[in-house]
Amino acid sequence: MYMSLNSLYIIKQMAKGGYWHDESGHEYVLLRGGIYSQHSQRQFQTQWENASVEMCNVMTWLGFGSRIRKARRDAYMENDRLLNARYPGGFKIITTGSKAEGLTSFYESDTDNMFVNEDVMCLEDGLPGDMLPRETTLFTLNTGSCYHGHCRLLLKLRGTVICHNLRDALYDDETGRSFLISDSYIYVLNSATLGPGEVRHSRAGPSLPSSDGANRLDRVPSFVCDCPSILQRWAERRRNWPPPDIVQKVVSLRAFVTPVGHKGSEFKYVEWRICFNTGENKLVSSLNNTQVYIYVILKMVVKDILKPIKKEVTSYTVKNLVFWLAENNHQECFTEKNLFNWLCEGLRELRTALSTTNLSYYMIPERNLIDSCGMNEKQQRTWVEKIGDMVNEGPKLLLRLPKIRQSIVSHPVPLFWYGQRRLEIELLVLKCINRREQCLVVDGVVNESDSMQNSILIRIVQILREVRQRMIEEGSCVNYLNEIFERMLM
């Protein structure tokens, strides 16, 4: 599927502003904040819609199409299954974030892994826990005096199997009740021995970041949490999205608690945050292509335009904004023809959230995601002004985003050629990782004679050589294959 040269030209002209003449000689004036046709507004509207559709094609070639998203999701789910089967009991690994959503390539962002302690269960106060296994340590959610979506963990029942991480993080208050201190628990885990070549980085909220070469990993210790009243309130909301079957699936996936308190709380070192990572993964997978592209482009805006220093605004902020956008509007309105319109609407919503310092958490609306985010007044003024400028620019805002700008201004043929090979390499890498996991024999040694694994590696090298040859023919500075490999997966 190639983008027509005429449609590509329309996108470029829309992005640049100025004058545009169609094939019949009709002249259009492209102004900041709007478009004016001297002859036929309807003709321009048709071209605007066609350009939106072609922009969706560009997003697909950049690696955000439905096929590659599903392949990524499936690959990381399979990898979790293989790892959990190899290390049964104790901790369960769940990949979350952009990798689980299928929205980033292999080296493009951190891999977020939840490490769920399966010997611990957290329940809403009042729920029975007498049916749990004897090995399970039971906590109840103590939400009194805590900010919305946060709690303290009150020890209800000590299991027969309790690790030293839990024991060392427990403390008794003046009434003799035992609470689990989130700060102490994550500190003990952070002192664990690193693997060969692994480098630990500073703690970020509830996560323990580390890296090994180009691989970056965020480990988030967590416990399973049953909070049916919160999920039921969410499920009963009047909505246009998600459909009832997805709502029920999200409810069945339950929740988790992670070791981080509310920044403005006097108990922040003791508190835990209630989250719905697996449910949110399911919600993202139920968004249609247009909604996903809005999500991705808004994430680029945050990263490349706002450039927060201390995660004052994050991709998680954007994800919740898109969830609300989807819930509050009819789904048939989110078509590829309307991509530019909805992108501008998303920017307006982001500007409003920043200017009012208010954005409700999608699962627990009482929790304000921008409250105590650390944004100062100068950042707020600058960001609101920048987003306002982008809304006024219309499609021209795309030129501010490096990844999209490089795609728009280039001819569609090399974009398609390189895109196809980049996606093929990524799919092969994901298959290779899981195949290597299946080929492990003793003490982590891989069976290198596996024919499927070797076939995958041979094909990867073939693609890299094709890419290197084309880069040489185009006059690019080409280095080693492994450097091309890393660049193609960024």
Position 307 scores a pLDDT of 93
- Smallest CA-to-CA distance from 254 within 278, 282, 285, 290 is with 278
Amino acid at 163: C
Instruction: List CB contacts of 300: < 8 A, sequence separation 6 or more.
Output: 401, 403, 404
Is 279 part of a structural domain of the chain? no
- Distance between CA atoms of 225 and 155, rounded to whole angstroms? 14
Instruction: Let me know whether 304 and 396 are in one domain.
Output: yes
Position 361 scores a pLDDT of 97
- Smallest CA-to-CA distance from 237 within 365, 394, 337 is with 365
Instruction: Let me know whether 323 and 210 are in one domain.
Output: no
Last residue of a domain, one of 272, 298, 329: 272
Instruction: Let me know whether 98 and 242 are in one domain.
Output: yes
Q: How many residues does the chain have?
A: 490
Instruction: Let me know whether 234 and 117 are in one domain.
Output: yes
**Cα distance from N-terminal residue to C-terminal residue, the chain:** 24
Q: Does residue 86 come out as left (phi exceeding 0), alpha (psi in the -120 to 50 range) or beta?
A: alpha
CATH at residue 367? 1.10.1410.40
Whose tokens are 């997805």? That residue is 246
Is 41 part of a structural domain of the chain? yes
- Distance between CA atoms of 195 and 234, rounded to whole angstroms? 41
Give residue-wise pLDDT tens across range 33-77: 444 445 456 666 777 787 788 889 889 888 899 999 999 999 999
The dihedrals phi and psi of 139, each to the nearest 5 degrees, come to -120, 150
Instruction: Let me know whether 228 and 361 are in one domain.
Output: no
CB atoms within 10 A of CB 123: 19
Instruction: Let me know whether 99 and 209 are in one domain.
Output: yes
Is 278 part of a structural domain of the chain? no
How far apart, in Å, are the Cα atoms of 351 and each of 277, 294, 313, 315, 464? 26, 15, 12, 15, 42
Domain count, the chain: 3
Last residue of a domain, one of 249, 272, 295: 272
Is 280 part of a structural domain of the chain? no
- Distance between CA atoms of 16 and 34, rounded to whole angstroms? 13
Instruction: Let me know whether 474 and 368 are in one domain.
Output: no
Instruction: Let me know whether 187 and 321 are in one domain.
Output: no
CB atoms within 10 A of CB 158: 14
Instruction: Let me know whether 258 and 343 are in one domain.
Output: no
Amino acid at 155: L
Give residue-wise pLDDT tens across range 369-425: 998 888 899 999 999 999 999 988 877 788 889 888 888 766 577 778 888 888 889
pTM over 0.85: yes
Last residue of a domain, one of 400, 434, 466: 400
Helix H or strand E encompassing 67: helix 66-86
Q: Note the maximum CA span of the chain.
A: 84
Is 365 part of a structural domain of the chain? yes
Q: What is the extent of the structural domain holding 302?
A: 287-400
Q: Measured at the alpha carbon of residue 82, what is the angle toward residues 279 and 256, in degrees to the nearest 5?
A: 30
Position 448 scores a pLDDT of 74
Position 22 scores a pLDDT of 46
DSSP readout, 401-446? SHHHHHHHSS-HHHHHHHHHHHHHHHHHHHHHHHHHHHTB-STT-B
Instruction: Let me know whether 114 and 191 are in one domain.
Output: yes
**Quick check: 277 and 283 in contact, CB under 8 A?**
no
Instruction: Let me know whether 214 and 229 are in one domain.
Output: yes
The ranges of the chain with pLDDT < 70 are 1-44, 191-195, 409-411, 441-446
Is 282 part of a structural domain of the chain? no
Is 183 part of a structural domain of the chain? yes
Position 25 scores a pLDDT of 52
Is 81 part of a structural domain of the chain? no
Instruction: Let me know whether 312 and 347 are in one domain.
Output: yes
